[in-house]
Amino acid sequence: MTSTATPLPERLRDRDLLRDAAFVNGQWIGAASTFEVRDPATGDPLAVLPSLGAEDARQAIAQAKAALPAWRALSALERSRILRHWADLVRENADDLATILTSEQGKPWGEARGEVVYSAQFLDWFAEEGRRVDGSVIPSHTPDARIIVIKQPIGVAAGITPWNLPAAMITRKAAPALAAGCTIVMKPAEQTPLTALALTRLAERAGVPAGVLNMVTSGDAVPIGAEFTGNPTVRKLSFTGSTEVGKILMQQAAANIQKLSLELGGNSPFIVFDDADIAQAVEGVVSAKFRNAGQICTGANRVLVQRGILEEFSAALRARAERVRVGNGFEQGVEMGPLIDQAGLEKVERHVADLVDQGGRVLTGARRSPLGHTFYEPTVIADVGTGTLPWQDEETFGPVASLTPFDDEDEAIEMANATEYGLVAYVYTHDVGRVWRVSEGIETGMVAINSGRVSNEQAPFGGWKQSGLGREGSSYGIDDWLELKYINLAGLSR
Ligand code: ADP
Domains of the chain: which residue ranges? 8-264+469-484, 268-456
Q: For residue 226, give the ligand 1 atom closest to its CA.
A: 24
The values of phi and psi at residue 160, to 5°, are -130, 130
Residue 393: predicted pLDDT: 81
Q: What is the pLDDT of residues 23-37, one digit of tens each?
A: 999 999 999 999 999
Superfamily in which the 268-456 domain is placed by CATH: Aldehyde Dehydrogenase; Chain A, domain 2 (3.40.309.10)
Q: For residue 370, how far is its CA from the centre of ligand 1 (angstroms)?
A: 30
Ligand 1 atom nearest to CA at 224: 25
- The reply to whether 268-456 shares the fold of 8-264+469-484 is no
Q: Hey, whose CA ends up nearest to atom 18 of ligand 1?
A: 221
SS3 assignment for the chain: CCCCCCCHHHHCCCHHHCCCCEEECCEEECCCCEEEEECCCCCCEEEEEECCCHHHHHHHHHHHHHHHHHHHHCCHHHHHHHHHHHHHHHHHCHHHHHHHHHHHHCCCHHHHHHHHHHHHHHHHHHHHHHHHCCCEEEECCCCCCEEEEEEEECCEEEEECCCCCCCHHHHHHHHHHHHHCCEEEEECCCCCHHHHHHHHHHHHHHCCCCCCEEECCCCCHHHHHHHHHHCCCEEEEEEECCHHHHHHHHHHHHHHCCEEEEECCCCEEEEECCCCCHHHHHHHHHHHHHHHHHCCCCCEEEEEEEHHHHHHHHHHHHHHHHHCCECCCCCCCCCECCCCCHHHHHHHHHHHHHHHHCCCEEEECCCECCCCCCCECCEEEECCCCCCHHHHCCCCCCCEEEEEEECCHHHHHHHHCCCCEECEEEEECCCHHHHHHHHHHCCCCEEEECCCCCCCCCCCECCEECCEECCECCCCCCHHHEEEEEEEECCCCC
What is the structure's pLDDT at 3?
A: 52
What is residue 36's predicted lDDT score, i.e. its pLDDT? 98
Look at ligand 1, atom 23, and give the residue with the nearest C-alpha.
222
Q: Which residues of the chain have pLDDT under 50?
A: 2
115-155 pLDDT, tens digit per residue, is 999 999 999 999 999 999 999 999 999 999 999 999 999 99
Q: Is 472 a catalytic residue?
A: no
Name all residues whose Cβ lies below 6 A of ligand 1.
Answer: 160-162, 187, 189-190, 221-222, 225, 241-242, 245, 248-249
CATH topology of domain 8-264+469-484: Aldehyde Dehydrogenase; Chain A, domain 1 (3.40.605)
Predicted local confidence at residue 2, as pLDDT: 47
Q: Is 440 a catalytic residue?
A: no
| 356-385: pLDDT as tens digits | 999 999 999 999 999 999 999 999 999 999
Q: Annotated catalytic residue: which of 263, 335, 409, 457?
A: 263
Q: Which residue, judged by its Cα, is nearest atom 25 of ligand 1? A: 225
Ligand 1 pocket, mutate which of 105, 160, 260 (most atoms under 8 A from CB):
160
Closest Cα to atom 22, ligand 1: which residue?
A: 222
Distance from Cα 193 to the centre of ligand 1, integer Å: 13
